[in-house]
Structure 1
Amino acid sequence: MKFLHKLLVLCALTGFVPALAHTQPIRVSLPDSATGRPDSQVAIPIVTGDLTNREVLSYTAIVVFNKNVLRAQGASFAGTLSEPFGTPQVTLFDSVIVVTGTGATPLSGSGTLVKLNFQVVGQPGDTTALQFSGFLFNTGVPAAETTDGFFTVVAAPEPDISVTPNELDFGQILVDSSATAFLQIKNSGDTTLTVNATELSGPDAAAFRVTGGAAPFDLAAGDSQTVEVTFTPTTPGAKTAVLSVRSNDPDQGEVQVPLSGTALPVAVPDIDVSSTALQFGQVPVGGMDITSLLISNVGTAVLEVDAVRVVGDDADQFRTQVGDSAFQVAPSESKVVFVSFHPASLGTKFASLEIVNNDPDEDTVRVALEGEGVPALAPRIVVSPAQHDFGFVLVGDSLSQTFRLSNPGSVAVEVQEIDLTGAAPEQFTLAAVSVPFMLAAGDSQEVTVLFTPTSEGPKSAQLRIQSTDPENPVLLVPLQGTGVTPLTLSARVVSPSDRATVCDDSITVEVETRVSGAVPPVTGTCEVNGIAMAAQDGKFVATVPLPAGETTLVAACSATDSLGRQVTASDTVTVTRPAAPTVTLQVISPEDSTQVCGDSVDVAVQTTLSGGIGPFSINCDINGIAAAQTDSILLARVPLLSQRTAIVATCTVVDSCGNLIVAQDSVTVLRPAAPGCTVEILAPQEGDFFCEEDSITVTAAFNVTSGTPPFAVQCQVNGTPAVRQESLLIATIPLA
């Protein structure tokens, strides 16, 4: 660095060379966006402004750079402005290059002065500033104005493969059919992408084929190619494979795209029944029992049921509602078939239900049927439910209940009459029903009763059913219910009263509530301004803090009866806790430091009272003397006992809440002392003789020693008025 140090000193010493004909500096610059790739050679130009007629016979450039990004290798002059100078002198350091060129003929023109040669040693993204540490034309004239540059290491071009989508799902297709999907292979890099192979692998690779756009192929930067893949399964089930795309992408030499699809078998119906045997148990001879069978299609094609028929020795004692009628069942659908047993004689009966259909595996499905005929029963009537409580119903509302009359016997029963009886049948209503009517064996009939209470309290009646049942010719069904009125709640704040004035910082709030229409027991709660209230002597009570000012007390109550019904109510009052009063006093007469000549003074004080709540107790005095008050003015005569008297006005105010406020104001009154003065005769002197004068001029010194100005001064000398000139008295008096 010794050379660099000497050159910089030279620049400093020559900085004051007198200006020549051309004084405008020449702009010299390095490129601000130079780039290069790792391990490459770069030539960075130093560009100059116009050198014509500037008498440039030499130049020296010192450029500083980052040695971890660039390594200096020399300088070149071919094709530059300095080519006439020949090969420049170059000195290399780790982070500095110094280039000097000289010649016999002045340089001219503008452009590249010289090129600095470097090897790029940094990695992509590395940068360095290119800074002039010094630059001279000749020995400093003409002047040079330099601009630094910047260099960035950039990456070498490479291909970049992208494959979309990243997987292919062909969904569900039938065996031996085909589905096609497409991939897009794109080169997002900045040099040619070579795709070498598009190969299939995996357990079901045979079910997939590349049917378009297969490798090998090349893609220029930014280009793309579509690859067509076809799924053709030959067996049912889920199929998977992998399409491998191999290329010269340095980061992703192989991209694997998962392939999937499901092959469904050729559609066929598949019958399924809910049971392969139906048991009817014991049924009275002449009676009937019925059950159901569910026929389902768990296949993929429509199930054609050609017939549902009963076969066997006792086929005549079983029936279906479809008979030999044909019907269809769609895939995943079902149909209900009812089968009934009608025993004509005693004993166990057997048959089979045959379902003829187009299921290729089960074209005829058989379901075993079995039942036993037993002796017939007498006619009977049963009511369900056997009794009913309607519970609580609002007066005027209605609640209904349906009763089912059934005949579990083997022969028909006649229902002759249905009516209402008991204690309060008028509270219940029988829905329209036409009697008499017959109930066949196993049949039933619904009867509806409404409960419509007209008053509060429990009500009861009976539903009376008369029939030909030999065991129970008259059935009585107990009915009961309770009429209730709507649940209501009222809440009222009984203390404090609305717009009350409260002096304390808290208040006890009392709330009365009234509940009607409730079914005991009843639970209730109240709160006021979010504070829970306690039940006490039939009221709800709570203590609520009161800030100064107006407070709204909101009582919110709720009640719940045994039916779970809940109602709410609220009430609101407003109370005021007044702020303490504010009192101000101002002595308005006399003013502070007023001088008073008498021995007493009339004092007037302005009073201002705000806040608080009346009536007020007000006591005011001035220097202990009770003051008379006119409107807001206090008046009193106060004796002046000294030359300096303090006038102090004091008021004490107590409002109706006991708040006590004391206010004062004061002024000072001055009572001046009697004036005093001195006189000293200055001329003539004691013992002076006057022989011929018939008058003389007397001069005396005059000085006021006490009293309060301004003063009225009158002076005489032997009865002759004296003239006052500042502190002198002058008078001319006759001599006898």
Structure 2
Amino acid sequence: MRCLSMNQKLNFLIFLAFLSLFTIGCPGGGGGGGGAAFALFGLGGGGGDVPAPKLEIQYNGVSRESGSTLDIGSEPIGTADGKTGTVTIKNSGNAAITLPGSPNIVALSGTDASQFSVTQPATSSLAAGASVTFTLNFKPTLEGAKTATIKIQSSDPAVGSFQLNLTGTGGAAAPRLAVSVGATQIAANGSYGLGSVEIDSSGTAVTFTVRNTGSATANLDGPPAVTATGTQFVLNLAGFPTSIAANATATFAIQFSPTGLAEVKSSNIAVAYDGGLSFLFTVTGTGTPKPVPTIAISHNSSSFTSGGSIPTFGVVWPTLTSSTKTVTISNTGTATMTGITLSKPSGHSGDFTISAFSAGATLAAGASGTFTIQFSPTATGSRAAVVRVATTNGTNGAASSADLNVSGTGKTGADVLVSWTGTNEKAPNDTDGGYKVCYSKNTGFNPADVNGTTIFCTDVPNTGGTTPVSKVISVPTFGDWYFKVYSYGKHNTVGGSPSGQSSVNVPNT
């Protein structure tokens, strides 16, 4: 082995990492037998990757290798917009990268460079992990295959110059439609949202612009040239033409008018042209619940929204009035309730009184009001009537009516037990004679003046072997009543002198 000088030894690099020890021996100077040994343990002190940039080019989300060919496809000649794609320049390394190309970062060249165009990235420097885009456009003026090349210079030591070969085909002139709303372009087979509209209402009509981005006139199929699959999306095609020249436009409108359930609704829209071609997209809208009033009727925490029988007022003396029963009407909906009325359409309507509704004829959403019912019998016995609560829109916007059955009893009398000490005698089985119990609301009355309206008398005759000493009397009204008892016999039918007067108070309950 030839020995190296010291400088040569210092510059000698050995790439044999698989050896743990490598020794080179050289004879000593002056022909001596000595030698020198160099041991190499690894290639550096700390290990790890050195920070470096890395250029990555993507088209339609797919990474492309330098020198590869990108086929843009076919485009009719003479179109206004051409075919456009987006190219991404990304720094996949861990150090900043620069794009020093001048005068353009992206240089376009080649035989048919005039048939292509590129925009320039917004920056010439990318931090680690950052990216920037530029637009590639193919707008042929002549039919046939077209080629060009783009080059991007970078500080990536591995790919200092990135080259992408472009191909495209210029096709025959042809129409091509695009649809937009204002500045918003709708993708083919894409969708456009028309927002939210209340059920049974109509949203604002939205204008759609159809543009012929091709290079030949588009002959629209029709009528109609535009169709929808959803009946809740109303098309307005007034003035829509039968053809659209290259780079010309036409408009139509869609109005979302949802019905039925509150939910997301959709319709497919087709703009058909040239007997088989069409631009397809979908419109969507959300039908939201319509604000409506909803009535709720209650009494003592029980629901009577659908009507029913209010608990009875019980027994009440005619000419008196019962305690009140309170009924609550609530609007549990989301809109104002209107046309609230109270009535007594049937039954003993004169025996029941209802107050005015505290909230009047309308009730705001979430609000409530009350009215009261009282029983004032005009006669004795069972009394009943119907109290009707009605609105013009209380059932989710529709008219409502609920009948409340009310009832009570007009009191016919009160029982009073009258007792006395027997004063007349009779033989067994003797049935003649007995007692008279007379009563009146007038103190000091004379039983001889009995008239059946203000003074009443009831016979309590002797029965075989029994001398009566008490009688239950039913008085027709409440208040103070006065009682007298006298006896009579077979031969003294007028009777003797009455007893002393006694009184009892009959309550009004």
Q: What TM-score comes out, normalization by structure 1 length?
A: 0.28
- Higher share in strand: 1
The structure with higher relative contact order (CA 8 Å, sep 6+) is 2
Query: Which entry has the higher C-alpha Rg, 1 or 2?
Result: 1
